[in-house]
Amino acid sequence: MASFTNAVVAYDTYSAGPLFSEDDLEPWILTLDELDAQFDEATGRPTSLHGVRDAHRAGSGTPSG
């Protein structure tokens, strides 16, 4: 399982423009519960990716899709 949270600490770099601030980030969490990856054996390139995910607003605990 892997998760990504929409917060400044989750980004490698963050640089807000003059009309946007850290407070404008919508708080949400995306969790990848399963990932099935298929690869071309000759090239090693991915041919198919299928993931099962859950997304919700941070603090709500309610999935949004």
Structure tokens at 21: 């601030």
Does position 31 have pLDDT exceeding 80, yes or no? yes
pLDDT for residue 54:
85
Structure tokens at 36: 């099935």
Tell me the domain boundaries of the chain. 2-12+26-55
What span, in angstroms and rounded, lies between the C-alpha atoms of 5 and 26?
10
Q: Which residue has the higher pLDDT, 56 or 49?
A: 49
Of 36, 10, 34, the C-alpha closest to 22 is 10
pLDDT for residue 40:
96
Does position 41 have pLDDT exceeding 80, yes or no? yes
If DSSP codes are grouped into helix, strand and coil, which group holds residue 8?
helix
User: Whole-prediction pTM value?
Assistant: 0.48
Most confident region among 2-11, 15-24, 42-51 by mean pLDDT: 42-51
Look-up: residue for tokens 């980004």? 11
Of 25, 27, 29, the C-alpha closest to 3 is 29
